[in-house]
Amino acid sequence: MNIKKTLVLFTVIYGSIFCQSVLAQDGKKTVIDKVVAIVGENSILYSDIENQYLQYIMQGNIENSQEVRCQIFEEILFGKLLLNQAQLDSIEISDDQVESEMDRRLQYFISQIGSKEKLEEYYNKSVIDIKNDLRSIIREQILTQQVKGNIVQKITITPSEVKEYFNKLPKDSIPIIESEIRYEVISINPLVNAEEKAYAKSKIEGIRERIVKGEDFSTLAHIYSEDPGSAAKGGELGDFSRGVMYPEFEAAAFALQPGEISPIIETDAGFHVLMLIKRKGEFINVRHILIQTKVSPLTIQNTQQRADSVFQLIQAGNMTFEDAAKRYSDDDYKVNGGLAINQNTGNSIFSPAEIDKDMFFQLDRMTPNQVSKPFVIREDQNKTSFKIVKLISRTSPHKASLSTDYDVIQKAALQNKKAEAVEKWINERAKDTYILIIDENFKKCNFMYKWM
């Protein structure tokens, strides 16, 4: 087990600590508990290891059970060593930090399981009780993450170190770089005119009036709502907290009382009317009806003609693609001359899997510096956008090299250097920290670090 695997395991285990800690409450999975180790003033329980091991098995993994338990145990030792350092350094975190992180995780798991009620039913606890169980665990995790960040935050790497790292890699360990694509895009979007917007608003005002006069909200949502995800459920969205929906939507929803009908709310999706079903703590459940602002066929036709005109300017050499993007494009990339930016990495390199399938289909047929004719892509809320794209470059899958993939190798070299710093820190702190492994089975583990 190498240092990279250790750090990955640490992230997976502690990143999903909500699920693991709550699973310990499930009676069918309760284990006979005991202290198996002590790090400083902090103890490690057998249940800490077993609950994480159960999660590992539930994810469909089948490996040597004791070896996996030993890996989990060493990760927890690492976490407790970080916690001990946080206590020695008197690091403090605010209650707001803990509550914010707890709400974020709760919302994620509610979205995964379906509703707050299902979460409470599964764990046989109220959300308040679950939060009480989690509070100290999340506080501990934030502390350990802060210490771990302090270990590596000032680490940088020089070009000579990158070259040395790469030259030391065994040939069969040099990574394969998949195809990389860079492209520029001009987006020309049909604009909803005043008449179309007025029609949509008038339609939902009529629906709201019928609800106020006593017609059933759920039935009208089934019939009229243009949100397919909730219309089949009578407009019900399920439990959510703040930070999930459109800001205007949330402001109206959280201001309602149970059974109260909202005024008409406008968001990027269209016009909404809401009804609060219930409120419990910081979570609410609402029904909504959405009427989208639709673009007329004539407007779409005019937009296509505008896109064709821009394409002709570029083709005739009267304007560069980059200047046309700055002048005519309707998206945020216009300031970069249309250069598409990968939101996952912050750079302009995309793998095929990171590109919209319709966009990739167009780019895959092009050669570098070729400019496409305008084509249609359906975007969020079923909106139409006309795109003109220019393929800048496309590489074939290949083994990484310093000349073509320096950024990738630099990132790997930096991560390796940080991993070595963490390894050094662990070994040094472990020598100066009271660490007692009590359980005989765990004493026999083939540890990566010197804990005893």
pLDDT over 70 at 272, yes or no: yes
Sheet strands (E) in 167-282: 176-177, 181-188, 265-267, 270-280
Give the pair of three-digit tokens for residue 89.
């350094």
Q: How much is the average pLDDT of 311-315? A: 96
Q: How much is the average pLDDT of 191-213? A: 92
The string of pLDDT tens digits covering residues 84-104 is 999 999 998 898 888 888 888
Q: How far apart are CA 35 and CA 17, in angstroms?
A: 19
3-state secondary structure of 352: helix
The string of pLDDT tens digits covering residues 118-156 is 888 888 888 888 888 888 889 988 999 999 999 999 999
Q: Which helix (H) or strand (E) holds 435?
A: strand 435-437
Amino acid at 172: D
| Amino acid 268: pLDDT | 84
Closest residue by Cα to residue 212 from 284, 275, 265: 275
The string of pLDDT tens digits covering residues 3-18 is 333 333 333 333 444 4
| Amino acid 365: pLDDT | 94
| Amino acid 120: pLDDT | 82
Q: Which residue has the tokens 């290891």?
A: 49
Angle 72-77-83 from CA coordinates, rounded to 5°: 125
Measured in whole angstroms, how far is the alpha carbon of residue 355 from the centre of its chain?
Answer: 17
| Residues linked to residue 126 through DSSP beta bridges, in sequence order | none
3-state secondary structure of 231: helix
Q: How far apart are CA 188 and CA 388, in angstroms?
A: 8
Q: How far apart are CA 115 and CA 366, in angstroms?
A: 46
Q: Which residue has the tokens 């350990």?
A: 144
Q: How much is the average pLDDT of 383-409? A: 91
Q: How much is the average pLDDT of 322-334? A: 93
Angle 186-191-193 from CA coordinates, rounded to 5°: 165
* pLDDT over 70, % of the chain: 91
Give the pair of three-digit tokens for residue 91.
């690091």
| Amino acid 21: pLDDT | 45
**Cβ-proximal residues to 421 (8 Å cutoff; 6+ apart), any chain:** 151, 152, 155
Largest CA distance in the chain: 79
Q: How far apart are CA 245 and CA 249, in angstroms?
A: 6
Kindly report which listed range (115-129, 148-162, 205-219, 424-438) carries the lowest average pLDDT score: 115-129
Do residues 235 and 288 lie in contact, with contact meaning Cβ atoms separated by under 8 Å? yes
Q: How much is the average pLDDT of 277-302? A: 89
Position with higher pLDDT, 328 vs 242: 328
Straight-line distance from the first to the last Cα atom of the chain, in angstroms, rounded to the nearest whole number: 18
Amino acid at 262: S
pLDDT over 80 at 26, yes or no: no
| Amino acid 352: pLDDT | 93
Q: How much is the average pLDDT of 344-354? A: 90
| Amino acid 62: pLDDT | 66
- Per-residue pLDDT band for 382 (boundaries 50, 70, 90) equals low
Residue 107 phi/psi, 5° resolution?
-65, -40
Do residues 363 and 391 lie in contact, with contact meaning Cβ atoms separated by under 8 Å? yes
| Amino acid 381: pLDDT | 57
Do residues 378 and 387 lie in contact, with contact meaning Cβ atoms separated by under 8 Å? no
| Amino acid 191: pLDDT | 83
| Amino acid 6: pLDDT | 36
Average pLDDT, the chain: 87
Torsion over CA of 54, 60, 65 and 68, rounded to 10 degrees? -80
Residue 99 phi/psi, 5° resolution?
-65, -40
Domains of the chain plus CATH, in order, are: 3-158+412-443 (1.10.4030.10), 181-191+296-399 (3.10.50.40), 194-291 (3.10.50.40)
For CA atoms 95, 99, 93, 45, the dihedral sign is positive
Do residues 9 and 69 lie in contact, with contact meaning Cβ atoms separated by under 8 Å? no
Q: How far apart are CA 135 and CA 302, in angstroms?
A: 56
pLDDT over 70 at 22, yes or no: no
